[in-house]
Amino acid sequence: MSFLNLENKTFLITGVANKKSVAYFSAKTLQDNGADLIFTVQNEDIKEKVAKLFPEKKIYILDVENTESVSALGNQLAAENVKLDGFLHSIAFANYSEGIKPFHETKLEDYLQASNISCFSLVALSNSLKQVMQPDASVVTISISSTKATNYGYMGPIKASLDAAVLFLAKSFASDTKVRFNAVCSGPLKTSASAGIPGYIDNYLYAEQLTMRHQALETQEVANSVVFLLSPASSGINASAMVVDAGMSSNYFDESVVGAFAKRE
């Protein structure tokens, strides 16, 4: 038995769309450590891509904006006698088609859609999948290390809401299970999803200098934390937000960064 004890355990993975995502790295690491995987994807095109990345795995199409689709997933897995040892919630969306605006100019429809997809989907999926979860299953969601980056727009408050949802889901499930809920709060990463955020690359380069090692956070490092929290090895961790940012959030006054600013002409 390995330290992580993932052999023959089954996890549902959401959010795999390509080989750059946290979800992909997490799924690959879980599989490499003996776990079996089930996937949900947004549409048929992504299903074909994931099928190539993870051959012979069950893949279900899931529309988290459709309550019937979310409910059907849990019922279908129950009908197939699936028992989940946990699942990874790696789903987020924000409409940046008009660029980043001041927060007070956020459109209600944009905020509600992003909140539904990026935050409430964790609540809805947890409710739907509760019937097929093992009593000591682990649920992990992907959040961010700092919710205050201006160019992240209204997704900052939504991610803060996601962090709060983790706490209250943990409390809610504790009434009759030992299911754990935790968030991995990642620093900036070089992913396809982040590329769609206006001005992200500048924040990414700045964040790299703020890490204590002056080296950008790697997606695999975040995935390693996800896998640990999904595993029985983290059984004592619940209702927590694990910050994984190479020290960035504790190093805003890095001497080299402050020095470079002070010497500007």
In tens, the pLDDT along 137-167 reads 999 999 999 877 767 889 999 999 999 999 9
253 part of a folded domain: no
Read off the pLDDT of residues 173-204 as tens digits, 9 standing for 90 and up.
999 999 999 999 999 998 776 766 777 888 88
Residue 227 scores a pLDDT above 80: yes
Residue pair 215/208 in contact by the 8 Å Cβ criterion:
yes
Q: How many domains does the chain have?
A: 1
Residue 240 lies in a domain: yes
Q: Are 143 and 159 in contact (CB under 8 A)?
A: yes
Is there a contact between 141 and 122 (Cβ–Cβ < 8 Å)?
yes
pLDDT digits (tens, 9 = 90+) for 17-71: 899 999 999 999 999 999 999 999 999 999 999 999 999 999 999 999 999 999 9
Q: Strand 10-14 relative to strand 36-41: parallel, antiparallel, unpaired?
A: parallel
- Whether 167 maps to a domain, the answer reads yes
Distance of CA 199 to the CA centre of its chain: 21
The domain in which residue 93 lies consists of 10-190+218-245
Give residue 146's pLDDT: 81
156 within some domain = yes
Does residue 103 belong to any structural domain of this protein?
yes
Is residue 197 assigned to a domain? no
Residue 3 is assigned to a structural domain of this protein: no
List the alpha helices (DSSP H) in 146-242. Answer: 155-173, 200-210, 219-230
CATH number, residue 144: 3.40.50.720
Indicate the pTM of the whole model: 0.95
Domain annotation covers residue 262: no
| Residue found under tokens 């038995």 | 1
Number of CB atoms found within 10 A of residue 48's CB:
11
> What's the chain's average pLDDT?
94
Give the SS3 label for residue 163: helix
Contact status, residue 191 vs residue 21, Cβ threshold 8 Å: yes
